């Protein structure tokens, strides 16, 4: 069985890695796979939200058509500066809206 929206490319001589792309095909993250077992890689793919098809030609439910992509973040209205004149951060610095 294969996972929807997951493509495997063999690059001779390259260390295996999972490259996560945005809906615009922009690179979001690279996860090295060299030290992982097949079971660990399968678990990672499942945790990331890829839909696993029963057979390669099986239909994918509508709600999983764009999985594992997350919905685009909604734009928040511009926040007014606080009493000290600084604008509070809208989200944690380590948080990435596409992940």
Residues 58-73 have pLDDT tens digits of 999 998 888 887 655 5
| Residue-level pLDDT at 2 | 85
Q: Hey, what are 53's tokens?
A: 């098809």
pTM of the full structure: 0.62
What fold is seen in the domain 1-71?
Answer: Glutaredoxin (3.40.30)
Residue 51 neighbours by CB distance under 10 Å: 20
CA 39 to CA 28: how far, in whole Å? Answer: 24
pLDDT at 97 over 70: no
| Residue-level pLDDT at 70 | 63
- On the question of a cis peptide bond just before residue 68, with omega within 30 degrees of 0, the verdict is yes
User: Is the sign of the CA dihedral 16, 41, 31, 46 positive or negative?
Assistant: positive
């Amino acid at each position: 069985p294969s996972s929807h929206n997951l493509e495997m490319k063999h690059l001779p001589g390259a260390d295996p890695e999972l490259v996560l792309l945005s809906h615009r095909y922009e690179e979001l993250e690279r996860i090295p796979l060299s030290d992982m077992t097949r079971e660990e890689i399968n678990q990672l793919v499942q945790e990331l939200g890829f839909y696993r098809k029963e057979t390669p030609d099986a239909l994918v439910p509508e709600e999983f058509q764009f999985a594992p992509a997350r919905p685009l973040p909604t734009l928040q209205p511009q926040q007014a500066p606080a009493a000290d004149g600084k604008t509070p951060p809208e989200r944690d610095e380590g948080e990435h809206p596409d992940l």
